[in-house]
């Protein structure tokens, strides 16, 4: 189960002005953009992917490969067990890869700092396996770390996330949905961090 998305943060969070905005499907324009970039005949690329980390991870990568091949980006998939996959990414031995991200904290700094900031060996960009660097984005992230004015910080976060969106540093695909079910006599509060606090469960 999943929901398509165009953003790294879900719509209920107030950090981005145009939450989860997705680019329209346009195969002809995609081919034209490739030609404009100097690849009129497309190119070949390998998509690295885990096969036992996320729900349907290898199948998703195979579907992406088939779609990209339609516009001339001939894509082969290398699917590995996560025990081999993540060490490969950590060596930066990849050109294109799948990465899932989530957690209990909903503050965007926990995406901006480890995933989008340039790697510097000081705790920033530790998961920036694409080696992307953008001085303006990095400066915004540094300000977000310490800014105490809530509205000013929100604007900085939005600006940083829109840089990610407009430059397609990552290609957000979908959000895994983790369903919870209980008997009709049980009521539980399902928290955003995917936990249930036993003290908040009622049984009739």
Q: Taking the mean position of all CA atoms in its chain, how far away is CA 113?
A: 13
Question: Is residue 101 helix, strand or coil?
Answer: coil
Q: Residues of the chain with pLDDT > 90: what percent?
A: 71
CA distance 17 to 9: 11
What is the pTM for the complete model shown?
0.85
Residue 60: the pLDDT is 97
On the question of pLDDT at 176 being above 90, the answer is no
Are 175 and 8 in contact by the 8 Å Cβ rule? The answer is no
Q: What is the pLDDT of residues 152-162, one digit of tens each?
A: 999 999 999 98
Task: Give the separation between CA 184 and CA 99, rounded to whole angstroms.
Answer: 36
Output the pLDDT for position 29. Answer: 96
Predicted local distance difference test score (pLDDT) of residue 7: 84
Q: What was the pLDDT predicted at 103? A: 66
Sequence ranges of the domains in the chain: 2-41+101-203
Look up tokens 């107030």; give the residue.
14
pLDDT of 11 > 90? The answer is no
Instruction: Kindly state which CATH superfamily the domain 2-41+101-203 is placed in.
Output: Dipeptide-binding Protein; Domain 3 (3.10.105.10)
- Of the candidates 179, 159, 170, the one whose C-alpha atom is nearest the C-alpha of residue 101 is 170
Nearest-angstrom CA–CA distance, 97 and 172 = 12
Asked whether residue 106 carries a pLDDT value surpassing 90, the answer given is no
pLDDT of residue 3: 86
Per-residue model confidence as pLDDT tens digits over 80-101: 999 999 999 999 999 999 999 8
- pLDDT tens for residues 136-150? 999 999 999 999 999
Position 84 scores a pLDDT of 98
The pLDDT tens digits for 15-36 are 776 767 788 899 999 999 999 9
């Amino acid at each position: 189960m999943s929901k398509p998305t165009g953003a790294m943060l879900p719509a209920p969070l107030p950090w981005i002005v145009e939450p989860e905005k997705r680019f329209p499907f346009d195969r002809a324009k995609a081919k034209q953009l490739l030609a404009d970039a100097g690849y009129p005949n497309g190119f070949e690329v390998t998509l690295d992917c885990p096969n036992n980390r996320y729900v349907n991870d290898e199948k998703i990568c195979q579907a992406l490969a088939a779609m990209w091949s339609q516009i001339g980006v001939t894509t082969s998939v290398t699917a590995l067990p996560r025990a081999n996959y993540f060490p490969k990414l950590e060596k930066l031995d990849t050109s294109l890869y799948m990465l899932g991200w989530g957690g209990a904290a909903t503050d965007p700094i926990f995406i901006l700092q480890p995933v989008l900031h340039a790697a510097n060996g000081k705790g920033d960009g530790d998961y920036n396996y694409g080696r992307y660097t953008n001085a303006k984005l990095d400066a915004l992230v540094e300000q977000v770390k310490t800014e105490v004015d809530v509205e000013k910080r929100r604007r900085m976060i939005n600006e940083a996330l829109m840089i990610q969106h407009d430059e397609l540093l990552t290609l957000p695909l979908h959000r895994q949905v983790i369903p919870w079910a209980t008997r009709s006599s049980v009521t539980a509060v399902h928290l955003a961090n995917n936990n249930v606090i036993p003290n908040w469960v009622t049984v009739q």
